[in-house]
């Protein structure tokens, strides 16, 4: 019969929908605390099929069409075996990413996008850690193996049907394939009849916030983000309107002379606010950082501009957020001219350096630091004692902090330097002598956070004896947040909440600033603190009473702007969600509430996006 082959293909199509739905269900079950307040769980599964079909049609369309062709070779046993092998291999590989995100989601709070391959590839860091990830998330591997075995069972241990057709039937079959099935595959691959193929932001029509990840699937997000390093120019405002809303040109015009103080940036790996005294309903894991904050200018509402280190470092030291998929470091714009705290202070005679105890080349930090104007890079290779290697990632924090202090003693003054810790990175390895001393909490990261805080304390204990210490401004913050057990830090804003403090040893008492701030505000704030008297480019603003406090990010699906009042989400064309930040209420979308006026925030967000895209595209990231 003509329809025997169609029956076979439709069965395989249905089988794949079942597998995608099953992995979506497991994704929900293993990450249920992030979605339990959703009122749209069932509909997320139903709408998710649309996104699943896009991937299925893209990856299997050619196979299906070939199987339907009424030619003799498609009836041969060898073709059948090749078809089965390709069907299993292609779909097992695609479903692997759904299985990976069952565990990986707790780190990034979104579906994986193409930048996952930068983590696994690039400088081989991810491949080094892969055995440890497999050990920690063994259940994801078992789920994937079960998927493979199920695909094999349904394709090898069923009797193969005969597809013999008459000549007339073959002609009808050929016509039906090219004028019926082929267009349907094309329709499925683009996700429907709409003007443009569906994209990741399309999922925001069916869910809000993190629930968007439940509608999407991981291979879809990877496919859609693969070529997203190229930004598109947008024109929300005329040039005259734009300059009134937002500017990247900065020039401190006060009459105070430039202060030649040393500047030390300390970036603590994965130090979310949840682990500190800022989380009043949690037991703090950072006693030293908490004590130092009482002597510092403490920003209680500070947010990261991204969810990975490769996005956090450019934001902190160069004021560059990543408002597209991937990362600035590996994007088409990484050859742009740009400035950082290092290059800007070099103009004032500073020596500059960047320290990270990881394997040299880790995430391209050595290349980035050089491009950012830091004179010297110090990694694992420069550390004098190989016995301090943690076996996975790099040098343990305590010895590398002490190495850092020793090097600063030799540094030409004044200096501007950046130190990025690593021991609180997965797999959270502790030195043998400290196992049992740091007990952490119920989170896997807990003990390593305590150890990193201890290492930070030992650094300050040594540094305060140095002759350069009192003439130094210290900035201590985090690159991004990590795994969480506190609901407050699982919200759309909370997943970006980080500690930020500026410590000046000559400051007599601490100060608390409660306005919303972000990583890209750090460089302008330090330059203002030093009374820097040259013009410079910055996406952020100096943190003072005159500027509106806000934070911006992009999660691969929508832009997000956080202010003291609202958390606003924008898909590039329209605002899709508005949440109350005063009461931290994320279960009630106020976008259609006519009593809520968020137009000023929406204008600001559009102005930032327009400026950002044009600036990177036109390579205008320096002050003219």
- Flag whether 585 is in a domain: no
- Domain co-membership, 290 together with 218: no
**What tens digit of pLDDT does each residue of 441-495 get?**
989 999 999 999 999 999 999 999 999 999 999 999 999 999 999 889 999 999 9
Domains in the chain, number: 2
Element (H, E) at 267: strand 262-268
Q: Which domain holds residue 479?
A: 286-543
Of 236 and 207, the structure prediction assigns the larger pLDDT to: 236
Q: What percent of the chain has pLDDT over 90?
A: 65
- Flag whether 593 is in a domain: no
- Domain co-membership, 368 together with 445: yes
- Domain co-membership, 46 together with 171: yes
Q: What pLDDT shows up at residue 228?
A: 63
- Domain co-membership, 203 together with 313: no
What 3-state class would DSSP assign to 226?
A: coil
Distance CA 495, CA 119 (A): 20
Which residues, at least 6 apart from 571, have a Cβ–Cβ distance to it below 8 Å?
Answer: 201, 204, 557, 558, 559
Indicate which CATH number applies to the domain containing 388: 3.40.720.10
Entry pTM: 0.85
Cβ pair 452, 434 in contact under 8 A = no
- Flag whether 589 is in a domain: no
- Domain co-membership, 70 together with 203: yes
- Domain co-membership, 405 together with 318: yes
Of 448 and 367, the structure prediction assigns the larger pLDDT to: 448
Cβ neighbours of 255 (radius 10 Å): 6
Q: What pLDDT shows up at residue 482?
A: 94
pLDDT of 168 higher than 80: no
- Flag whether 183 is in a domain: yes
Confidence class for position 348, pLDDT limits 50, 70, 90: very high
- Flag whether 548 is in a domain: no
What 3-state class would DSSP assign to 477?
A: strand
Mean local confidence (pLDDT), 67-88: 83
How does strand 472-478 pair with strand 511-518? unpaired
Cβ pair 191, 197 in contact under 8 A = yes
For 142, 299, 461, 578, 612, the CA distances from 503, given in Å and listed in that order, are 48, 11, 14, 35, 31
Q: What pLDDT shows up at residue 156?
A: 66
Give the domain-ending residue among 176, 206, 225.
225
The answer to which of 132-136, 362-366, 399-403, 529-533 has the lowest mean pLDDT is: 132-136
pLDDT of 116 higher than 90: no
- Domain co-membership, 66 together with 160: yes
Q: What pLDDT shows up at residue 583?
A: 92
Q: Which of 183-197, 245-259, 262-276, 281-295 has the highest mean pLDDT?
A: 262-276
- Domain co-membership, 337 together with 213: no
Of 357 and 5, the structure prediction assigns the larger pLDDT to: 357
Mean local confidence (pLDDT), 28-40: 78
**What tens digit of pLDDT does each residue of 384-436 get?**
999 999 998 899 999 999 999 999 999 999 999 999 999 999 999 999 999 88
What 3-state class would DSSP assign to 108?
A: helix
Cβ neighbours of 183 (radius 10 Å): 10
Confidence class for position 160, pLDDT limits 50, 70, 90: very low
- Flag whether 564 is in a domain: no
**What tens digit of pLDDT does each residue of 193-210 get?**
887 788 887 887 787 667
Q: What pLDDT shows up at residue 112?
A: 85
**What tens digit of pLDDT does each residue of 523-579 get?**
999 999 999 999 999 999 999 867 789 999 998 889 999 999 999 999 999 999 999
**Maximum Cα–Cα distance for the chain, whole Å?**
94
- Flag whether 143 is in a domain: yes
- Flag whether 280 is in a domain: no
Residue 501: strand pairing partners: 298, 476
Q: Which of 67-81, 217-231, 495-509, 534-548 has the highest mean pLDDT?
A: 495-509
- Domain co-membership, 298 together with 209: no
**What tens digit of pLDDT does each residue of 301-328 get?**
999 999 999 999 999 999 999 999 888 8
Q: What pLDDT shows up at residue 415?
A: 98
Of 454 and 157, the structure prediction assigns the larger pLDDT to: 454
Chain-wide mean pLDDT for the chain? 89
Cβ pair 581, 565 in contact under 8 A = yes
Q: How far apart are the first and last CA of the chain?
A: 73
**What tens digit of pLDDT does each residue of 100-114 get?**
999 888 887 788 887
Give the domain-ending residue among 543, 563, 591.
543
pLDDT of 167 higher than 80: no
**What tens digit of pLDDT does each residue of 213-227 get?**
899 999 998 888 776
- Domain co-membership, 204 together with 312: no
- Domain co-membership, 11 together with 95: yes
Give the domain-ending residue among 225, 249, 271.
225
- Domain co-membership, 215 together with 352: no
For 4, 5, 11, 170, 585, the CA distances from 161, given in Å and listed in that order, are 8, 9, 13, 17, 57
Confidence class for position 123, pLDDT limits 50, 70, 90: very low
């Amino acid at each position: 019969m003509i329809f025997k082959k169609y029956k076979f293909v439709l069965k395989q199509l249905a089988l794949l929908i079942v597998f995608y739905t099953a992995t979506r269900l497991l994704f929900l079950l293993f990450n249920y605390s992030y979605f339990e307040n959703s009122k749209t769980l069932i509909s997320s599964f139903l709408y998710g099929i649309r996104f699943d079909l896009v991937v299925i049609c893209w990856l299997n369309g050619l196979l299906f069409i070939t199987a339907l062709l009424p030619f003799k070779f498609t009836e041969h046993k060898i073709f059948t075996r090749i078809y089965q092998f390709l069907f299993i291999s292609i779909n097992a590989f695609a479903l692997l990413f759904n299985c990976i995100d069952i565990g990986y989601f707790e780190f990034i709070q979104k579906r994986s996008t193409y930048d996952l391959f930068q983590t696994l590839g690039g400088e081989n860091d991810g491949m080094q850690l892969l055995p440890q990830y497999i050990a920690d998330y063994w259940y994801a591997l078992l789920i994937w193996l079960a998927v493979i075995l199920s695909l094999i069972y349904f394709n090898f241990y069923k009797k193969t049907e005969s597809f013999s057709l008459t000549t007339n039937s073959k002609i009808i079959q050929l016509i039906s394939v090219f004028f019926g099935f082929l267009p349907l595959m094309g329709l499925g691959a683009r996700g429907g009849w709409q003007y443009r193929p569906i994209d990741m932001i399309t999922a925001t029509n069916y869910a809000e916030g993190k629930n968007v990840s439940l509608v999407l699937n991981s291979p879809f997000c990877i496919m859609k983000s693969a070529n997203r390093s190229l930004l598109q120019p947008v024109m929300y405002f005329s040039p005259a309107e734009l300059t009134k809303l937002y500017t990247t040109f900065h020039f401190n015009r006060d009459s105070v002379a430039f202060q030649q103080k040393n500047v030390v940036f300390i970036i603590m790996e994965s130090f979310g606010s949840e682990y500190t005294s800022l989380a009043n309903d949690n037991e703090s894991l950072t006693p030293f950082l908490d004590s130092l904050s009482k002597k510092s200018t403490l920003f209680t509402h500070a947010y990261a501009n991204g969810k990975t280190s490769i996005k956090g470092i450019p934001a902190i030291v160069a004021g560059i957020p990543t408002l597209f998929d991937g990362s600035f470091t590996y994007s088409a714009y990484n050859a742009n001219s740009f400035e950082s705290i290092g290059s800007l202070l070099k103009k004032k005679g500073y020596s500059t350096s960047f320290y990270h105890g990881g394997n040299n080349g880790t995430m391209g930090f050595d290349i980035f630091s050089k491009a950012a104007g830091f004179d010297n890079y110090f990694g694992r290779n420069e550390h004098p004692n190989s016995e301090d290697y943690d076996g996975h990632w790099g040098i343990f924090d305590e010895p590398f902090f002490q190495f850092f202090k020793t090097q600063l003693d030799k540094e030409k003054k004044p200096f501007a330097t950046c130190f990025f810790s690593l021991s609180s990175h997965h797999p959270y390895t502790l030195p043998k002598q400290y196992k049992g001393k740091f007990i952490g909490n119920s989170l896997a990261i807990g003990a390593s956070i305590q150890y990193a805080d201890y290492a930070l304390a030992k650094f300050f204990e040594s540094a305060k004896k140095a002759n350069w210490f009192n003439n130094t401004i210290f900035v201590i913050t985090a690159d991004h947040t990590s795994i969480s057990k506190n609901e407050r830090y699982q919200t759309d804003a909370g997943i970006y909440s980080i500690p930020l403090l500026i410590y000046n040893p000559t400051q007599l008492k601490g100060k608390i600033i409660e306005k919303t701030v972000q990583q890209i505000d750090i460089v302008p704030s330090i330059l203002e603190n030093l009374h820097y008297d040259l013009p410079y480019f910055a996406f952020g603003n100096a943190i003072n009473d005159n500027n509106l406090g806000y934070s911006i990010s992009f999660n691969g699906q929508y832009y997000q702007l956080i202010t003291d009042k609202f958390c606003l989400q924008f898909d590039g064309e329209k605002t899709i969600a508005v949440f109350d930040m005063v009461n931290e209420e994320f279960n009630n979308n106020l976008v259609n509430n006519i009593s809520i006026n968020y137009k000023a925030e929406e204008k600001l967000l559009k102005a930032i996006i327009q400026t950002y895209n044009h600036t990177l595209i036109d390579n205008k990231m320096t002050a003219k």
